[in-house]
Amino acid sequence: MYFYQPPIGLGVAHALGVFFAISYVGSLYLSRQARLVFKSSAQRLREGEQRRKQNDERWRDDPDVIRARLVAVGLSTALSCGIVLWLLWNLAQDFTIAFDAASTRLGFSLPLGDVFPVCLVTPILFLGPLYAEYLMGRLPLQRNWSWRRDLLPMITTWQGWRNYLMAPLTEEVVFRACMLAVYHLAGAPIGRMIFMTPLLFGFAHIHHAWDIFNRYGRSVAAAKRAIFATILQLSYTSLFGFHCSYLFLRSGSIIPPLTSHIFCNIMGLPQVSFHLATFRSRRNAIKAAYIIGILGYIYTMNKWTLVEGCLYWRATSKVNGRPIY
Tell me the C-alpha distance between 95 and 86, whole Å.
9
Least confident of 70-79, 80-89, 168-177, 309-318: 309-318
- Asked whether residue 44 is assigned to any structural domain, the reply reads no
In which region does residue 93 sit, left (phi positive, over 0), alpha (psi from -120 to 50) or beta (all else)?
Answer: left
319 secondary structure, DSSP code: E
- Asked whether residue 4 is assigned to any structural domain, the reply reads no
Q: How many helices, marked H, and strands, marked E, lie in the chain?
A: 17, 2
Provide Rg for the chain, Cα atoms: 22
- Asked whether residue 5 is assigned to any structural domain, the reply reads no
Question: What is the pLDDT averaged over residues 125-146?
Answer: 95
Q: What is the pLDDT of residue 188?
A: 94
Q: What is the pLDDT of residue 200?
A: 87
Question: What is the pLDDT averaged over residues 183-190?
Answer: 94
Asked if residue 96 has pLDDT above 90, the reply is yes
Which pLDDT band, with edges at 50, 70 and 90, does 290 fall under? very high
- Asked whether residue 172 is assigned to any structural domain, the reply reads yes
Asked if residue 242 has pLDDT above 90, the reply is yes
Q: What is the pLDDT of residue 199?
A: 87
pTM (two decimals):
0.93
- Asked whether residue 236 is assigned to any structural domain, the reply reads yes
CB 81 within 8 A of CB 173: yes
Asked if residue 297 has pLDDT above 90, the reply is yes
Question: What is the pLDDT averaged over residues 124-147?
Answer: 95
Q: What is the pLDDT of residue 215?
A: 87
**pLDDT tens sequence across 153-164:** 999 999 999 999
Report the run of H or E that residue 265 belongs to, with start and end: helix 255-267
Tell me the C-alpha distance between 96 and 298, whole Å.
40
Q: What is the pLDDT of residue 146?
A: 92
- Asked whether residue 74 is assigned to any structural domain, the reply reads yes
Determine the distance from the C-alpha atom of residue 74 to the mean position of all C-alpha atoms in its chain, rounded to a whole number. 15
Question: What is the pLDDT averaged over residues 232-244?
Answer: 92
Return the percentage of the chain with pLDDT > 70, whole number.
98
Which pLDDT band, with edges at 50, 70 and 90, does 71 fall under? very high
Q: Which residues does 62 contact at the CB level (< 8 Å), separation at least 6?
A: none
Q: What is the pLDDT of residue 4?
A: 87
- Neighbour count for residue 207 (Cβ, 10 Å): 14
Q: What is the DSSP string of 162-190?
A: IIIIIHHHHHHIIIIIIHHHHHHHTT--H
Q: What is the SS3 assignment for 318? A: strand
Asked if residue 109 has pLDDT above 90, the reply is no
**pLDDT tens sequence across 8-61:** 999 999 999 999 999 999 999 998 999 999 887 777 777 778 888 888 889 999
Tell me the C-alpha distance between 247 and 262, whole Å.
14
Determine the distance from the C-alpha atom of residue 210 to the mean position of all C-alpha atoms in its chain, rounded to a whole number. 21
- Asked whether residue 46 is assigned to any structural domain, the reply reads no
> Domain range for residue 236?
10-38+54-323
Which pLDDT band, with edges at 50, 70 and 90, does 114 fall under? confident
Number of folded domains that form the chain? 1
- Asked whether residue 247 is assigned to any structural domain, the reply reads yes
Q: What is the pLDDT of residue 145?
A: 94
